[in-house]
Chain A
Amino acid sequence: EIVLTQSPGTLFLSPGERVTLSCRASQSVSSNYLAWYQQRPGQAPRLLINGASRRATGVPDRFSGSGSGTDFTLTISRLEPEDFAVYYCQQYGNSPPYTFGQGTKLEIK
């Protein structure tokens, strides 16, 4: 089973700031099948990035993903108020289970 470790656990930031979130895998993620999701309170997760770097339909271009192998990042270039949420990475490329990271929470400073 691939374990995904996200860091940091919580970040306190201000609107307008740039942020980079990390997701590290315990073994290489095949075909870079790594996704990022955003989850707001009381809502289902929303797909932001798949294939490590492809924005999902309708996702603003301030969100970008990068990385390969075992190290992946999600960058938000300029935080908007609606971006304060929890972000999860997930691998879906290797054999199941298709595990999720434990999440990074963005809070307003």
Chain B
Amino acid sequence: VQLIQSGAEVKKPGASLKVSCKVSGYSLMEFSIHWVRQAPGKGPEWMGGFAPEDGESVYALKFQDKLAMTEDLSINTAHMELSRLKSDDTAVYYCAAVVGGRYSPGAYEYWGQGTLVTVSS
């Protein structure tokens, strides 16, 4: 299994960002894709994913009005869109996969390589 993320981005404050995560080797449906970011010198921060209780998307409170996760099964790719960017959104963004699909609780066995996003005027 490989999770292949889109390349680094430089964005201006107020802009939107879209990061893709292509699952290679298996069907996207076999995983629950979550998004985690890591600011420079900081620990990982969970942004959003799927709740195994009902398979619905869930977001961390601070991202509820600016994060959207989508999936395109035809190309085995998950997307994360973050709007109204600020300088403190500068971070490496990771997709991370739970094996077993949206209804499976689990740790992240597979990670993308990370996408560096820089927000600067």
Contact = CB atoms under 8 A, between A and B. Distances in A.
B15 interface: no
A84 interface: no
B43 A44 contact: no
Nearest to B34: A98
B113 interface: yes
A95 B51 contact: yes
Given A44-B94, A44-B111, A44-B114, A88 B43 contact: yes
Q: Which range contains the number of A residues in contact with the other chain?
A: 20 to 34
Contact of B107 (A35, A44, A86, A97): A35
Given A44-B94, A50-B106, A96 B111 contact: no
Interface of B: 34, 36, 43-46, 49, 51, 58-61, 94, 96, 98, 105-109, 111-114
